[in-house]
Amino acid sequence: MNYIKIKLYLLLIMIRRVLTLVLLTLFVAKACFGKLDNQNLKVSDAKLNEISKNIRCLVCQNQSIVNSNSEFAIDIKKMIREKLADGKNKHEIFKFLKSKYGDYVLFDPPFQSNTFMLWILPFLFLFLGTLFLAKKYIKFRKK
Amino acid sequence: MKIKFIYLFPFIFFLSLLVIFFIKFEKIEKGESIEQIQSPLIGKNIPNIKIIKFNENQKISFSKYKNKRFILNFFASWCLPCKIEAPLLNKVSSKIPIIGIAYKDKEEDMIKFLKNYGNPFSEIGVDQLGSIAIEWGVYGVPETFLIDENGKIIYKYAGAISHELYKDKIIPFINND
Amino acid sequence: MINEFGHLLLIFALFISFYSIIIFALNILNFSDSKLLLIRKFSNLNFFFIFISFLILEYAFINSDFSLSLIANNSHTSKPMIYKISGLWGNHEGSMLLWILILTFFTFLVSKTKVIPKGIFFSNVLGIQNLVIFSFLLFTLFLSNPFERTESIPFEGKGLNPLLQDPGLAFHPPMLYLGYVGLSISFSFAVASLITKDLKPNWFIYLKPWTLVSWCFLTLGIALGSWWAYYELGWGGWWFWDPVENASLMPWLIATALIHSINVVEKRYDFINWTILLAILGFSFSLLGTFIVRSGLLTSVHAFASDPYRGIFILIILGLSTGIPLFIFGLKNFKKNNSKFFLLSRETALLFNNLILIVSTITILIGTLYPLIIELIQNSKISVGPAYFNATFAPIMVPFVIVMIIAPFLSWQKTAKKNLIKKLMLLLILTIFGTFIFYYLKPSSIFGLICGSLSISLSISIILEVFNKLKSTKQSFLLDIKKINLLPKNFFGMIIAHLGLAVFLAGITGEQFFKIQFEKELTINQKFKLGQYEILFSNVKEVNGPNYVSRSAEFDIFLEKKIVKKIISEKRFYTAEKSQTTEAGIYSSFFKDIYIVFGNKVKANEWIIKAYLNPMVTWIWLGASLMALGGLVSIIGLKNRKILKIED
C-alpha cells in the first residue's frame, strides 16, 4: 500500500513540475514572440527580397544586391520588380540574369553538371564516415 | 611494418588542396587568372534590344554593319577609366568603327566629355536607365565588345582597355585573325 | 632611431628561434638537460624581444610617427587614441607582429611551466613551436616588415577608414589570434608526441588547458565579429558565409571536436590517434584561415590587400607545417586500439559527433574553395553563397544536436537499455510538449519548427542532466548555493557551454524564422507597422560629428500608442576619407531587436526606409557568451583535476 502511495505522490510531483514547465514556457514564449503580424508585407516586396538575396552585386566584394546601394544593385532590383510585375517567376528571372551575366551572378550554386560534386560531397563524406565507424563497430562485435 | 592506408588519407587530402592552391598561384603569376567574368554572351548574336541614338529619334541600325566588324563601347562622362582609355579608343577608331553607348549620362556632360577627350564613336546611343546595359550583361563602365561580321560577340572586356589588350586582342580582331 | 631598434629586435628574435631549432635538433640526437634549459631560456628571451618590439611599434602608432610607411598608410592624427592603438593590428604587417607576439608569449608560458617533465618531449614541443615562430618571423621580416621606412615623411597619414574605427572591431582580431595561436600549442604537443621515443603515455594532459583557452577565445572572437557586422554594417544580418568568416569557423569546429576527443582520452584512454589528428588539423585550419585572408585567393569583404608572394610564402609554411606532421601521422605504427565500447555508449555519441564536426568542417571547406576549383578546371566563375551552406551545414548539424540531447543519458562503455528508455521517455514527452507549444507560435517554415524544437529539447536535456547529477551526488534538491561549489567545475563548464548552444539555437530560430521585414519609400511624418509596433518617421536633420557630417533620420517607436523609444539611423559622410557609411538605428531588448536602416533619397522628400523586427537576436550573442563562459569555468576547474593514471 505504501509503495503505491509513494508512486502516486511522485507522479503528482512530476505532473506539477511538468505543468509549471509548460506555463513557464508559454509565458516566455509569449514574451519573446507575442502576436506576429506578417500581413503588412506586400507580396512583391517579399518576393523581390527573396530573389535579390540570391543575386550577387558584381561591383561589390561578396555582397548581394539586397544589401548594396550601388547603381548596379538598384538597376537590377528595378528590373526584377518589372519582370515580377510582368508575371515572370523566380526561375525565369534567374535564367535571364544567368544568360546575361553568367553563373557567377547567382549566389546559390545551381544543380548543374559542374556543381554536382559540390552538393554531393558533404553527404558523401558523412555517409563514408558513418560507414567507416560502423565497420569498426561490427569488427569489434565479431570478437 | 603495416602502413594503414586510412591514416594517410588526411595527408593525401591535404596534398590535393596544396596542389590546387599552387596551380591557382601559377595562374596568377602568369597573369592568366580571370579577374574578368566570362560573359555568356560570347559567341552569341548581339542582343535584340533597340538603342535610341543620341539627339535623333531613331534607333541604331545594326544592319548597317552586316558583313563588317565593329566595336561597341559603353562609356560615361563620370567614369574615370573611360577618360583613361580615351586616347587608345581614339586610335582604334581610325581602324574600325566604334559605337558608343552613353550609360546613365547627362547630355551636356557627355558632350563636354567628348569635346575634351575626343569622339571615337561613329554613332552614339543612349542608355539613360541602364536597361540596355543589363541586356548586354554590362555591370559597370567602361565595357567594350568586339563584334564580328556575322553579328556575333567575339570578345568582351570590362574596364579600361590597355595596350596589351590592344596588341593581343583588338589588332588581331581588326585584321580578321 | 627607436624604430630601428624595434626592427633589430625582430632580427634578434629570428636568430634566437633559429638557434632554438638547432638545439632542438641536437637534443634529438643526444639529449641533455643543459640544452633543454637553453631552449627554455631562449624562449623567454624571444618573448621579451618581441614584446619590446611590439611596444615600440605601438609607441610609433600612438605618436603618429609617419616615418614608418605602415603608420603613414594606416593611421591619421585625428584618429581617436584607442583606434590609433588598435590600428596596429588593423593591417597586414601589424597583425603579423601581433600574431608573433602571441605565439612567443604562449611559447614563453609553456617553457615556464613546471608540470612538464624535463625530458626530450619538452624539448621537442619547444622546438616545434620555434619552427613555427621562425617561419613567421622570416615571413614578417622579408615580406611584411612593419618597420619599413617611408621615403619622405608625409604630414598626414592615409588611414582613416571609418568602418575600422569601432570598439567591436578593435578587439575582434586579438581574440581570434589568441584562439588561432593557442591551437599551435596543442599542435606542438601533438606533433612532439609523434616524434618522441619512449613517450610518457599521459602526455595528452597538457592538451586540454591550451585547447580550452583557444576555444574560448575563438568563440569570443567569432561572436564579436558577427556582433560587429550586425550593428555596424547596416544589413541586418550577422553571418554571411563569407570566406573569411568560414576561415574562422573551421578551426572553431575542429577545436570543439578536439576538446571532446581529449575528454574521451582522459576518461578512458581512447581516441588518442583521433586526438592527435585533430590537434594537427586545428592549427592547420588556423593557418589556412590566415592564408585565405592574405593571399588574394578568394574575394571577400575582409581580405587584406593581396600580394601573391605573400600568399606563396604562407602556402609554403602551411604546406610544410601541415604536410609533414600529417605524413608522419600516416606512417606511424600506432598500437592496436583497445576500444571496448558498445553502440549505446557515451563514447559512440562523442565519436559520432566528432565525425559530424569534421564532416561539417570539410563541407565548409568545400563550399569555400569550390569557386576556386571550378575556375581552375573550367575557367569559369561560379558563386557559392549562403544557400549552399544553409542547405548542407544545417542539415548535418541536426543529428549532431540530437546526439547532444541524448548523450547525457548514455553511460560510458555500455548503457543499460531499460534505464535509458525510461529517461528518454521523459525527455521525449517534454520535448513534444515544448514543440507543440512552439508550433502554436507559427514559425515561418518547417525548418524553424525543427530548429526551435532542437533548442527546446537540448535545454530540457541539460536541465534533466543537472537534476540527475544533483540527485546522484545526494545534494539537497533545493539548491544550496554553497553546495554547488562542491560539484565538479568541469561538469558545470560543460553544462553552461551546452546551454549556451541551446540559447544560441533559440536565438537563430527567432532571428531566422520569426523575422518581420518592411521596406518602403516614406516621407517625414509617415507611420508604418512592424509587428506589434508602430513606428513614426519623425525627422531628418544634418548633424556634424567629429570627423563626419551625418544625415540623421529619427524614428519614434510606439507600442500600444505609447512611445517606447526614439532611435536614429544615419548616413555618415566622412570628410577626410571621402567615404560614406550607413549606421543602422537599433532598439535592442532581451527578446527582440528593432533594426531600422535609413536608405537613399528617391524623390524630393522621400527616402527608402528598411526596418526589421528581429526576435531573439540578443540570445545569439548571449548563447555565444555562455559557451565561452562554460569554457572559462572548465579552465578554472582544471586546477583540481584528477588525472587518470595510465598503466603502460
What is the pLDDT at residue C421?
85
For an interface test with B, which of C254, C312, C362 has the most B Cβ atoms less than 10 Å from its Cβ?
C312
Residues C485 and C584 in one domain: no
Nearest to C453 by CA among C473, C436, C441, C465: C436
What is the pLDDT at residue A6?
65
Closest CA–CA distance from residue A21 to any residue of chain C (Å): 9
Which position has the higher pLDDT, C380 or C611? C611
Question: Hey, are the CB atoms on C380 and A102 less than 8 Å from each other?
Answer: yes
Give mean pLDDT, residues A53-59. Answer: 88
Farthest CA pair distance, chain B? 86
What is the pLDDT at residue A34?
41
Prior bond of B142 cis (ω within 30°)? yes
The pLDDT of residue C404 is above 60: yes
Question: Hey, are the CB atoms on C437 and A29 less than 8 Å from each other?
Answer: yes
What is the pLDDT at residue A15?
62
Q: Which residues contact C293 (CB under 8 A, 6 or more apart)?
A: C244, C247, C300, C302, C303, C304
Q: Judge contact between B160 and B84, C-beta under 8 A.
A: yes
Question: Hey, are the CB atoms on A32 and C592 less than 8 Å from each other?
Answer: yes
Segment of A1-10, C128-137, C544-553 carrying the highest mean pLDDT: C128-137
Residues C567 and C637 in one domain: no
Model confidence pLDDT, tens digit, residues C324-341: 999 999 888 777 666 677
Q: Which residues contact C358 (CB under 8 A, 6 or more apart)?
A: A129, C253, C254, C257, C278
Nearest to C124 by CA among C253, C16, C36: C36
Which position has the higher pLDDT, A42 or C359? C359
Nearest to C266 by CA among C647, C646, C634: C646
Placement of cell 571496448 in the chain: C340
Placement of cell 588526411 in the chain: B10
Helix, strand, coil percentages for chain A (3-state, nearest 5): 70, 5, 25
Which secondary-structure segment (H or E) carries C102? helix C92-112
Amino acid at C447: F
Closest CA–CA distance from residue A129 to any residue of chain B (Å): 11
Report the C-alpha gap between C406 and C10 in whole angstroms. Answer: 52
Q: Which residues contact B138 (CB under 8 A, 6 or more apart)?
A: B74, B103, B158
Q: Count Cβ atoms below 10 Å from residue C319 Cβ, excluding itself.
A: 18
Residues of chain B with pLDDT under 70: 1-4, 30-36, 177
Which residues in chain C have Cβ-Cβ distances shorter than 8 Å to A56? 383, 385
| pLDDT band at C73; cut points 50, 70, 90 | confident
Amino acid at C437: I
Q: Which residues make beta-bridge pairs with B70? A: B147
Question: Hey, are the CB atoms on A75 and B133 less than 8 Å from each other?
Answer: yes
Closest CA–CA distance from residue B155 to any residue of chain C (Å): 15
Pairing, β C527-530 against β B70-75: unpaired
Q: Judge contact between C283 and C254, C-beta under 8 A.
A: no
| pLDDT band at A5; cut points 50, 70, 90 | low
Give mean pLDDT, residues C566-576. Answer: 87
Phi, psi (degrees; rounded to nearest 5) at C396: -65, -30
What is the pLDDT at residue C80?
84
What is the pLDDT at residue C423?
84
Model confidence pLDDT, tens digit, residues B117-132: 999 999 999 998 889 9
Residue B39 contacts A, CB cutoff 8 Å: yes
Placement of cell 555517409 in the chain: A127
The pLDDT of residue C216 is above 80: yes
Residue A79 contacts B, CB cutoff 8 Å: yes
For an interface test with A, which of C379, C380, C383, C528 has the most A Cβ atoms less than 10 Å from its Cβ?
C383
Q: Which residues make beta-bridge pairs with B74? A: B101, B143
| pLDDT band at C476; cut points 50, 70, 90 | low
Report the C-alpha gap between B89 and B93 in whole angstroms. Answer: 6
The pLDDT of residue A10 is above 70: no
Residues C638 and C493 in one domain: yes
Question: Hey, are the CB atoms on B28 and C315 less than 8 Å from each other?
Answer: no
Terminal alpha carbon distance of chain A: 49
How large is the ipTM?
0.83
What is the pLDDT at residue A43?
47
Q: Which residues contact C432 (CB under 8 A, 6 or more apart)?
A: none
Q: Can you give the residue ranges of every domain in chain B?
A: 1-35, 62-174
Which residues in chain B have Cβ-Cβ distances shorter than 8 Å to A71? 104, 130
Which position has the higher pLDDT, C8 or C473? C8
Closest CA–CA distance from residue A42 to any residue of chain B (Å): 25
% of chain C surpassing 70 pLDDT = 93
For an interface test with B, which of A61, A71, A112, A139 has the most B Cβ atoms less than 10 Å from its Cβ?
A71
Nearest to C517 by CA among C577, C594, C632, C451: C594
Q: Judge contact between C592 and A32, C-beta under 8 A.
A: yes
Query: To 5 degrees, how large is the angle CA B77–CA B80–CA B81?
Result: 110
Phi, psi (degrees; rounded to nearest 5) at C514: -130, 15
Question: Hey, are the CB atoms on C437 and A46 less than 8 Å from each other?
Answer: no
Which residues in chain B have Cβ-Cβ distances shorter than 8 Å to C381? 34, 37-38
Question: C185-198 as b/e, with b when 16 or more CB fall inside 10 Å?
Answer: bbbbbbbbbbbbee
The pLDDT of residue A124 is above 50: yes
Long-range pairs for C413-418 at CB < 8 Å and ≥24 separation?
A: C413/C268, C413/C340, C413/C341, C413/C342, C413/C345, C413/C346, C413/C347, C414/C341, C414/C342, C414/C344, C414/C345, C415/C342, C415/C344, C415/C345, C417/C344
Say if C493 falls within a structural domain.
yes
- Lowest mean per-residue pLDDT among C140-144, C485-489, C533-537, C609-613: C485-489
Question: Hey, are the CB atoms on B139 and A101 less than 8 Å from each other?
Answer: yes
Nearest to C135 by CA among C187, C100, C92, C91: C100
Q: Judge contact between C189 and C258, C-beta under 8 A.
A: no
C neighbours by CB contacts (3+ pairs under 8 Å): A, B
Give mean pLDDT, residues A71-83. Answer: 89
Which residues in chain B have Cβ-Cβ distances shorter than 8 Å to A102? 37-40, 137
Give mean pLDDT, residues A114-130. Answer: 88
The pLDDT of residue C552 is above 50: yes
Residues C84 and C156 in one domain: yes
Which residues in chain B have Cβ-Cβ distances shorter than 8 Å to C312? 25
Q: Can you give the residue ranges of every domain in chain A?
A: 2-110, 113-143
Question: C565-585 as b/e, with b when 16 or more CB fall inside 10 Å?
Answer: bebbbbbbbbeebeeebbbbb
What is the pLDDT at residue A46?
72
Which residues in chain C have Cβ-Cβ distances shorter than 8 Å to A108? 383, 385-388
Q: Which residues contact C116 (CB under 8 A, 6 or more apart)?
A: C110, C122, C125, C206
What is the pLDDT at residue B6?
80
A2-110 fold:
Helicase, Ruva Protein; domain 3 (1.10.8)
Model confidence pLDDT, tens digit, residues B43-72: 999 998 899 998 888 999 888 888 889 999
Question: Which SS3 state, helix, strand or coil, does residue C389 take?
Answer: helix
What is the pLDDT at residue C113?
87
What is the pLDDT at residue B14?
93
Query: Which chain A residue shows the shortest CA-CA distance from C243?
Result: A62
Residues C524 and C506 in one domain: no
Question: Hey, are the CB atoms on C373 and B15 less than 8 Å from each other?
Answer: no
Question: Hey, are the CB atoms on C376 and B27 less than 8 Å from each other?
Answer: yes
Query: Which chain A residue shows the shortest CA-CA distance from C438?
Result: A29
Report the C-alpha gap between C182 and C106 in whole angstroms. Answer: 7
Which position has the higher pLDDT, A6 or C240? C240
What is the pLDDT at residue C140?
93
Nearest to B131 by CA among B17, B71, B52: B52
Which residues in chain C have Cβ-Cβ distances shorter than 8 Å to A38? 444, 516
List the B143-147 sheet strands across, edge first.
B123-127, B98-103, B70-75, B143-147, B153-158
Query: Which chain C residue shows the shortest CA-CA distance from A46?
Result: C517
Query: How many domains does the structure of chain C reveal?
Result: 3
CATH of B62-174, one of 3.30.70.1450, 3.30.1330.10, 3.40.50.720, 3.40.30.10: 3.40.30.10
Q: Which domain holds residue C497?
A: 416-514+616-648
| pLDDT band at C115; cut points 50, 70, 90 | confident
Nearest to C68 by CA among C51, C46, C91: C91
Residue C386 contacts A, CB cutoff 8 Å: yes
The pLDDT of residue A82 is above 70: yes
- Lowest mean per-residue pLDDT among A25-34, A76-85, B4-13, C58-67: A25-34
The pLDDT of residue A4 is above 70: no
For chain A, what is the mean pLDDT? Answer: 76
Q: Judge contact between B158 and B143, C-beta under 8 A.
A: yes
Report the C-alpha gap between C483 and C496 in whole angstroms. Answer: 17
Q: Which residues contact C360 (CB under 8 A, 6 or more apart)?
A: A122, C253, C393, C396, C397, C400
Reported pTM: 0.87
- Lowest mean per-residue pLDDT among C111-115, C156-160, C269-273: C156-160
Nearest to A104 by CA among B35, B152, C289, B22: B35
Amino acid at B85: E
Pairing, β B98-103 against β B70-75: parallel
For an interface test with A, which of C274, C384, C441, C614 has the most A Cβ atoms less than 10 Å from its Cβ?
C441
**H-helix segments, C63-91:** 69-74, 81-86
Q: Which residues make beta-bridge pairs with C530? A: C533
What is the pLDDT at residue C648?
36
Question: Hey, are the CB atoms on C330 and B7 less than 8 Å from each other?
Answer: yes
Q: Which residues contact C40 (CB under 8 A, 6 or more apart)?
A: C111, C112, C126
Long-range pairs for C13-17 at CB < 8 Å and ≥24 separation?
A: C13/C46, C13/C49, C13/C50, C13/C53, C13/C100, C13/C104, C13/C133, C13/C137, C14/C134, C14/C137, C14/C138, C14/C141, C16/C42, C16/C45, C16/C46, C16/C49, C17/C42, C17/C46, C17/C130, C17/C133, C17/C134, C17/C137
Give mean pLDDT, residues C187-204. Answer: 90
Query: Which chain A residue shows the shortest CA-CA distance from C370?
Result: A118
Instruction: Kindly tell me the number of DSSP H helices and DSSP E strands found in chain B.
Output: 6, 5
Say if C48 falls within a structural domain.
yes
Residue B136 contacts A, CB cutoff 8 Å: yes
Residues C557 and C505 in one domain: no
Nearest to C277 by CA among C369, C336, C355: C355
Which residues in chain A have Cβ-Cβ distances shorter than 8 Å to B131? 75, 79
Helix, strand, coil percentages for chain C (3-state, nearest 5): 65, 10, 25
Closest CA–CA distance from residue A2 to any residue of chain C (Å): 23
Question: Hey, are the CB atoms on B130 and A104 less than 8 Å from each other?
Answer: no
Question: Hey, are the CB atoms on B130 and A58 less than 8 Å from each other?
Answer: no
